[in-house]
A = this chain, B = another copy of it.
Amino acid sequence: MPFKAPLSDIQFLLEKIVGLDQLRATELFADADRDMTEAILSEAGKLCAEIIAPGNRAGDEHHSVLENGRVRAAPGFAEAYRAIAEGGWVCVSAPVEHGGMGLPVALQTAINDMMSSANLSLQLNPLLTQGQIEALAAHASDELKELYLPKLISGEWSGTMNLTESGAGSDVGALVSRAERNEDGTYAITGQKIFITWGDCDFVSNVCHLVLARLPDGKPGTKGISLFMVPRDLPDETGVPGVANSLKVVSVEHKLGIHGSPTCVMEFNGAKGWLVGEEHGGMAAMFTMMNNARLGVAAQGIGIAEAATQKAIEYARERKQGRVGGTGMIIEFPDVRRMLMTMKAETFAARAIALANAVAIDMGHATGDEEWTARAALLTPISKAHGTDIGHEVAQLGVQVHGGMGCIEETGAAQFARDVRVAQIYEGTNGIQAMDLVARKMMDGGAAAYALLDEVEAFAETARGTLPELAKPVFNAAENFREATEWLVEQEMQDRFAGCVAYLRAFARVLGAHYHLMAAMAEGGAGPRTKLARFFIKRILPEHESLIAQQRDGADGLYAMSVEELEAV
């Protein structure tokens, strides 16, 4: 049951909906002509479907394990990774001057999406490396860049992010890992980090840890944190990894999903590290890495939604049950059809939002225009939270379509749900994303949100002639949501936070409907995409109203019951 790369959907979105052509009009991406981008996607799709996807079940069945202090990956992972690295697929958006292809983040996102469909556990490895490449490119010294970037981009080495400690998760500023200045300009890093994805790896020749720690004179909180490059094996003068650094994997977690991806507890015992960015300026660098990773995690959710949908459609086509009309297959049952349509419509909408986000990032890079940067910043928490929520919901619908077989592990349907679940939590829980949306991303008084809603409404206006039945509800939803935003920006933080998850979801509903409407218009208001758009707008978009009702309820109701009452009643 092979995974089929969704090239037609992705190319349709890039060309007709999110405006890849705008990128081609910039100097930075002038070379990314359509022949080239289609060839890239097609090659990547082939790799994902033919080389990577077949190993996905093995990664679930064979948890990665710790042996003699080293992590042993699941069978087949090394070979699949080699194909990724040798094809240059670790990070296609990496800068040209360090050996990368300098392609748009939009393409990187599409590739991450397909690779996540194929094997989420394995894909986490290049995803983390991508974040590290971006952080180093933006903040590291030239020496570090020259040493590390080519190896990371080629996939010879892999990268990790070491933020979380047992007492410092969402609140990174609480971390207690220490850094001491060595006499030679390097640093000695000491501390324990948890939840370190691919904290060790047996198919690369070095693992490069980016570690947050506090110098002796670092202030409490996030302002006193510095970032260090701490390689597993210390490169010698020629750049070849030699002497082992003073760090180790203490244990590998036993997890709900992504069994093939080792989640490590790391211990640093005076490990040698090199400063990245300024002393006490680690959070800025880490945010670069995290924002990249957030869009990457959105792509993970979407990739799983895609894979789960394909699997469910295939099962429903081939599973006979009862005497329903037509073929007798369960795909003819109304409620099975509802689930499949929901899966398709949600996946399309989430992918459109993520790709629009990616294009905004690229346009920001290419033009320096602050409106694009603000658009990208606004969309990032929506892409991440909504993309991963949809990934999980769609995967759970996939389980349901499979009926009793859905809970039998050999089927693979449940694996998608288990694998994607943590994506709603890591890189900032989806609650944290929603807080980011209503606080930091509304520091402009809602300007970026209003600009986007203006576009949604303007498009609905132009669609009104062709598709009045769809254009009108989209316009009205945007108006409702604009009012919700006007209400939001007037509130104190506590009241914003009390409805932030509902607000984010409502936003995603409105945007999803907008992109579906664009898709319908792109095919002239008739055709399969129009039918899917109709389904989304009629059945799913109305949810925005109850979400807004939730959002506007404020904080009082949440705290009305005391903690003691919560426990007692």
Contact = CB atoms under 8 A, between A and B. Distances in A.
Interface stretch (A107-115, A315-323, A455-463): A315-323
A486 interface: no
Interface of A: 8-9, 164, 167, 169-171, 173-174, 194-195, 253-257, 313, 317, 320-323, 331, 333-341, 344, 392, 396, 399-400, 403-404, 406-410, 414, 418, 421-422, 424-426, 429-431, 434-435, 494, 497-498, 500-501, 528-529, 531-532, 534-535, 538-539, 542-543, 545-546, 549-550, 553, 555, 557-561, 563, 565-569
A164 B404 CA distance: 10
Contacts of A421: 396, 399, 407, 414
A400 B422 CA distance: 9
A560 B543 contact: no
Contacts of A500: 334-335
B418 A256 contact: yes
Given A407-B421, A431-B400, A550-B542, A531 B565 contact: yes
A333 B431 contact: yes
A532 B546 contact: no
A546 B542 contact: yes
A260 to B, nearest CB: 14
A8 B546 contact: no
A538 B557 contact: yes
A545 to B, nearest CB: 6
B403 A558 contact: no
Contacts of A559: 337
Nearest to A560: B531
A391 B424 CA distance: 19
Q: Among the interface residues A167, A331, A532, which one has the most CB atoms of the partner chain B within 10 A?
A: A532
17 contacts: A170-B321, A254-B408, A254-B410, A334-B494, A334-B558, A338-B558, A341-B558, A344-B561, A344-B569, A400-B429, A400-B430, A414-B421, A528-B568, A539-B553, A542-B545, A543-B546, A546-B546
